[in-house]
Amino acid sequence: EVQLVESGGGLVQPGGSLRLSCAASGFTFSSSAMTWVRQAPGKGLEWVSSLISSGTSTYYADSVQGRFTISRDNSKNTLYLQMNSLRAEDTAVYYCAKGGMSSSGLDYWGQGTLVSVSS
């Protein structure tokens, strides 16, 4: 059974940092593209970032480019999202998803972790 479990969310002040983790199991993590998607309270889905299986190619939404860094540790079956210089508008539930937007879609999703940016 495929499982994606996010952690690391919480309350942070504007300008602060957080690192989200996504522990994956039930599939060959090292062979899968992975994606972060967020959803602000009461709003729609927003693609945040993706990286290919090897981790050598990464992609970011303009809204987070230069502030967020996606990475993976294939030895730990874990996906990360380092978030720096956080803003109020980054407040959202962050979902980890298996796959990429350009291929077979995002076929499995985690339950999400809430990030709140507020003073």
Partner 1 sequence: QSVLTQPPSVSAAPGQKVTISCSGSSSNVVNNYVSWYQQLPGTPPKLLIYENNKRPSGIPDRFSGSKSGTSAILGITGLQTGDEADYYCGTWDSSLSAGVFGGGTKLTVL
The contact set with partner 1 (CB under 8 A) reads 35, 37, 44-47, 50, 59-62, 95, 100-112
Least distance to partner 1 from the beta carbon of 110, Å? 7
Least distance to partner 1 from the beta carbon of 16, Å? 25
Question: Residue 5 phi/psi, 5° resolution?
Answer: -125, 110
Nearer to partner 1 by Cβ, of 16 and 93: the residue is: 93
- Measured from the Cβ of residue 100, the count of other Cβ atoms closer than 10 Å reads 19
Taking Cα atoms as reference points, which of 37, 68, 74, 67 lies closest to residue 52? 74
Least distance to partner 1 from the beta carbon of 32, Å? 14
d(CA 117, CA 91): 5
Cα–Cα distances in Å, from 111 out to 30, 39, 74, 83?
21, 12, 21, 19
Nearer to partner 1 by Cβ, of 27 and 59: the residue is: 59
Nearer to partner 1 by Cβ, of 56 and 102: the residue is: 102
Least distance to partner 1 from the beta carbon of 74, Å? 22
Nearer to partner 1 by Cβ, of 37 and 115: the residue is: 37
Q: Which residues pair with 4 in a beta bridge?
A: 24
